[in-house]
Structure 1
Amino acid sequence: MLILNRIEMEFIFSKKKDGEVVHRKKSKLREWSEAVLFAVIAATLIRTFIFEAFVIPSSSMEKTLLVNDFIFVSKISYGPRIPMTPVAWPFMHHTIPFVKINAYSTIVQLPYKRLPGFSSVSRNDVVVFNYPCGDTVLKTSDGEDVDYYTNIRSLGYSDTKKTFPTRIIRPVDKRENWIKRCIGISGDSLQIIDGVIYINGAKGLAPRHFMARYEVIMPDLHQLSEPRMDELNIDHSVRITMDSTAFIYNLDADNLDTLRQLGAHIKRKIAEGTDIRVFPFDTIHHKWNEDNLGPIYIPKKGDTVQLDSLTLPFYQRLIDTYEHNTLKVAGNKIYINNKETTTYTFKLNYYWMMGDNRNESMDSRFWGYVPEDHIVGKAAFIWLSYHKNKIRWNRLFSAIK
């Protein structure tokens, strides 16, 4: 939130009357109107080019970021993005509250351009970006957004259209804002084996508060009570194993140490089988799930890849949606902009984003790459945090790492 101090200024109009100069103040209404207009313009410029405030709505980044953490996101770290949809209501993203209509107009659409910044996106940065699959959204009867592509894959086109008749297409900078950690950068090769991430063949760095699912058997064989979980700072999301012999908790390194000291038997819970939700949604050739996938190449601007029936599922959306080409497949032949080809050279850099609460996060494992033109900024610090109507004082003005 930006607080602007109002500077009192006296504007004087002069005109001649019988040879004399008469000084006349502006009315109070005009003074206040000009002050408000100045504040709106200044705040909009700061919000667009320097930093912006966000609130964390979900648990996908716990315990690095908690629900109801209010954060500032630096736009200048990676370079501020020039608005691609400049005609819009100030301080609103894509929808005007209550009336639930678009807060922007597509009458003017500008190409992607970013001003110089202090750095490029690095591995392990916590990044805010526009949700890549948010280009198309469905609307419920009460005006809420529903993910288009998830429903298309699960229900099919016909049933999706019957269930959600309203479909909205949004420009890049008006897609929903998401926050995740950058796990892989352009040019990296990424693989996940039993929940462990490998980048270019080397084990990736786990965040300080990385969380995953573990099967836990306490010495008394009972589930931890909610007061006990609060005391031990353990997430309340609890499941039970299929054979009812253990309870499944989302735990970080501190939780593991605490429970082991209490005599608990702990084992990492790894996803099994093939998950049809996992990118690139090719379950014939890739028997992957959220804890076992890859290797996956993360495209880099200027790099060229071979295209065939095996590689195309990884890059099809990049070619036709993110980089605005016409792509067609006829038999074993691939056509880009009506020319047959077996290669493609990328125009943008791409990134792989994942949540720190690894098994409670919808991230790149489920929808793929994040293009550079979707990057909003780098999460800088927490300026306010509260839980159960109480301020979490220990989190105020803490840096996000």
Structure 2
Amino acid sequence: MSALTGILYAVLIAYLGGWYTGYWSGNFSLLLFILTAVTMAYWLAERFHFQPARERAAADLLASDTKRREALAAQGIARVDGNVEGAREEILRQPWWLDWTAGLFPVILIVFLLRSFLFEPFKIPSGSMVPTLLVGDLILVNKFHYGVRLPVINKKIIANHDVARGDVMVFRYPEDTSMDFIKRVAAVPGDEVSYLNQRLYINGQLVPVQSQGDYYDEDSMQYRQRFSEKLGEKEHQLLVNTQRQPLFRPDRKDGPFPFQENCKYSPEGVTCKVPAGHYFMLGDNRDNSRDSRFWGFVPDENIVGKAFFVWMNFGNLKRIGSFN
């Protein structure tokens, strides 16, 4: 078993090394599930086989020593050299390969349950959500806000709150579901959403914005105009480069995205009818975000959870707190 455990650890290290260096993409949810299952198997084997076997061997050693001492005492020998307590402790000691598998099972199980059903940490990798979220923000994602989902397969089994306009949502990137993205929900199923001349319209109504002055964008080292926008119940801030008028068009390299026929593109922007079970996502850094304007809609089965709290930014501790 020690050799098998060594092989399993070698495979794990090789997998993590290849993932870290970019040789292949990893699936942390699947990895955590496998680790939970493997360590549980070791824990069960320890609980019902290996530990009882060690205890029986220790008991046999004590019984044998007691019997020897009784036999010697019957012959009038009261003083007997040797102490089996050290040997007993050695027999009862858990071997390394069980300590590093069965011993880790409770910790891994707790992490698996917390991450799968309650909260998942997420690191902001890009500036697409500036000024709401900055590169380096470590955030928490509420996994049960939109309903309870089975881990790995992400199938919803218990419904909870509906997705609302204005939510900041983490989801599996439709073009590569091994990657998680974070954007703001701009439109929900049945909505007609337009982004024309850098202004957002929902069902034909212009979403109101108010100027908040300039904002220094550290990524581009330029000043951007900052606005407050009320999309849903709460206001949030966004950046717009009013000197840039991008030409929108689908740029998916391997073909059209699902329901692309629901979208109409023009030099002014894009208008889409959101299909059932899908959502239209936008970044708050509107001119520095590759979002639903380019790769289409997010299906409900891709939802990871609702982002709600910055729990750490090592470069700026003032970032810690909730956000809209």
Normalised-by-shorter TM-score class: 0.5 to 0.7
Bigger helix share: 2
State yes or no: 1:68 paired with 2:136. yes
Equivalent AA in structure 2 for residue 56 of structure 1: I
* 1:83 and 2:151 aligned: yes
Alpha-carbon spacing, 1:35–1:269, altered in 2? closer, same or farther (3 Å): same
Asked if 1:293 corresponds to 2:216, the answer is no
Which residue pairs with 2:72 in the alignment?
none
Counterpart position of 1:395: 319
The one of 109, 115, 119 equivalent to 1:41 is 109
RMSD: 3.7
Distance of 1:49 and 1:297 partners within structure 2? 32
Closer, same or farther: CA 394–117 of 1 in aligned 2, 3 Å: farther
Q: How does 1:95-174 map to 2 (within 5 A)?
A: 113-134=155-176, 172=177
Whole-Å separation in 2 of the counterparts to 1:287 and 1:362: 15
Q: So what's the TM-score if we normalise by structure 2?
A: 0.60
SS of 1:394's partner is helix
In structure 2, the partner of 1:176 is 179
Contact 1:192–1:292 (CA under 8 A) maintained in structure 2: yes
Distance 1:208 1:35 in 2: 57
| Identical positions, percent | 31
- Measured after TM superposition, the shift of residue 201 of structure 1 is 1.8
Once the two structures are superposed, the pairs formed by residues 2-401 of structure 1 within 5 Å of their partners are: 15=56, 18=63, 25-27=92-94, 29=96, 30=98, 33-84=101-152, 113-134=155-176, 172=177, 175-204=178-207, 234-236=216-218, 249-253=223-227, 268-271=242-245, 275=249, 277=251, 286-289=264-267, 292-294=269-271, 296-300=272-276, 349-387=277-315, 392-396=316-320, 398-401=321-324
Determine if contact 1:273/1:288 at 8 Å carries over to the other structure.
yes
For the structure 1 residues 298 and 233, does the alpha-carbon distance in structure 2 shift closer, same or farther, using more than 3 Å as the test?
Answer: closer
Task: Sort the Cα spacing of 1:35 and 1:177 in 2 relative to 1 into closer, same or farther, 3 A.
Answer: same
2:191, 2:274 within 8 Å by CA — same for their partners in 1? yes
C-alpha distance in structure 2 between counterparts of 1:48 and 1:208, whole Å: 40
Query: In the TM superposition, what is the alpha-carbon distance from 1:42 to its structure 2 partner?
Result: 1.8
Which amino acid counterpart does residue 323 of structure 2 have in structure 1? I
After superposition, what is the alpha-carbon deviation per residue over 1:112-160, rounded to whole angstroms, capped at 9, x for unaligned?
62132431211110000111011xxxxxxxxxxxxxxxxxxxxxxxxxx
Measure how far apart 1:179 and its partner are. Answer: 0.4
Q: CA deviation at 1:267?
A: 8.7
2:282, 2:289 within 8 Å by CA — same for their partners in 1?
A: yes
Cα distance in 2 for partners of 1:249, 1:62 equals: 12
CA drift at 1:276: 5.7
Equivalence for 1:151:
none
Residues 175-210 of structure 1 deviation map (CA, whole Å, 9 limit, x = unaligned): 21000000001111111222111111222365998x
Unmatched segments (≥5 aa) in structure 1: 1-10, 86-111, 135-171, 212-231, 240-247, 255-265, 301-348
Provide the C-alpha distance between the structure 2 equivalents of 1:57 and 1:113, rounded to a whole number of angstroms. 26
> Could you list the per-position Cα deviations for residues 12-59 of structure 1 after superposition, in whole angstroms to 9, with x for gaps in the alignment?
855565599x99755374456433122112212221221111111110
Structure-2 change in CA distance of 1:267 and 1:37 (3 Å): closer
**CA distance, structure 1, for counterparts of residue 150 and residue 210 of structure 2:** 31
Secondary structure of residue in 2 paired with 1:54: strand
What is the identity, as a one-letter code, of the residue corresponding to 1:292? G
Instruction: Please give the secondary structure, in 1, of the residue aligned with 2:111.
Output: helix
Q: Deviations over 1:42-81 (max 9, x none)?
A: 2122212211111111100001000000011111111232
After TM superposition, the score normalised by the length of structure 1 is 0.49
- State the secondary structure of the residue aligned to 1:41: helix
Q: How many residues align?
A: 229
SS at structure 2 position matched to 1:40: helix
Is the 1:77–1:377 contact (alpha carbons within 8 Å) kept by the matching residues of 2?
A: yes
Amino acid at match of 2:299: P
The runs of 5 or more residues in structure 2 that have no matched partner are 1-46, 67-84, 229-239
Distance 2:167 2:307 in 1: 8
